[in-house]
Amino acid sequence: MFRAYLASPWFTSQQMKVMNKVRNIILEFEDVNLFSPYYDGIVLDKKNDSLDMRHKVFDIDIGTIVYSDLVVTIIDDFDPGSIFEMGAAGIICWMYDKGIVDKVITGSGKVSGIPRIIAYSDVSGRGLNVMLQQSIWGFANGEKELRAQLDRFVHDEQSHDYLGFVHGDFV
């Protein structure tokens, strides 16, 4: 069983639609246990927004990213929170690549160096800047590519090795 984290904005109806579509695609894979902050974490609102609750949300989300095998980030609107979560996972990748950390026990119980990152976009021709390109494991533009990336992650054990480059096209 692999643990996955879905980094996504949910502030507009379109963002909710894309988040739910990506979530449902991930849930098609029985070997993946998904954590989505919107569904599984704490959503702050006027009733529960306090400094203590903000610390709790941060700790839960970052802790889940650190112990995830996979982070899927929806990048369509370049939501600052989602990009931060992707960057946090990317820092773990960088630290592993540079030998600063040598292993992490991921949520699946496997010794791993890093959570793999898949950037997802519904925007045709979407590209990524160099900082995002260099931190991800895969890029999916649309549902078909996302299913292919997830299938490769779940079924290709060798693809779990961090190779220092991405799989996918960047325009």
φ and ψ of 7, to 5 deg: -95, 115
**Confidence check: pLDDT of 161 > 50:** no
Q: In Å, what is the CA distance from 167 to each residue of 12, 110, 113? A: 30, 22, 18
In a domain, 97, yes or no: yes
CB 133 within 8 A of CB 102: no
Q: If you average pLDDT over every residue of the chain, what do you get?
A: 84
Instruction: Render pLDDT for 16-56 as a digit per residue (tens, 0 to 9).
Output: 999 999 999 999 999 999 999 999 988 888 888 889 999 99
In a domain, 168, yes or no: no
Confirm whether 109 is domain-assigned. yes
Rounded Cα gap, residues 171 and 169, in angstroms: 7
| pTM of the complete model | 0.86
Domain presence at residue 169: no
**Domain containing residue 7:** 2-160
For residue 26, the model assigns a pLDDT of 98
Sheet holding 116-121, edge to edge: 32-35, 2-7, 70-74, 116-121, 138-141
Residue 166 in domain: no
Per-residue DSSP letter, 113: S
Inside any domain, residue 170: no
User: What CATH number is given to the structural domain containing 122?
Assistant: 3.40.50.450
Domain assignment present for residue 71? The answer is yes
Domain total in the chain: 1
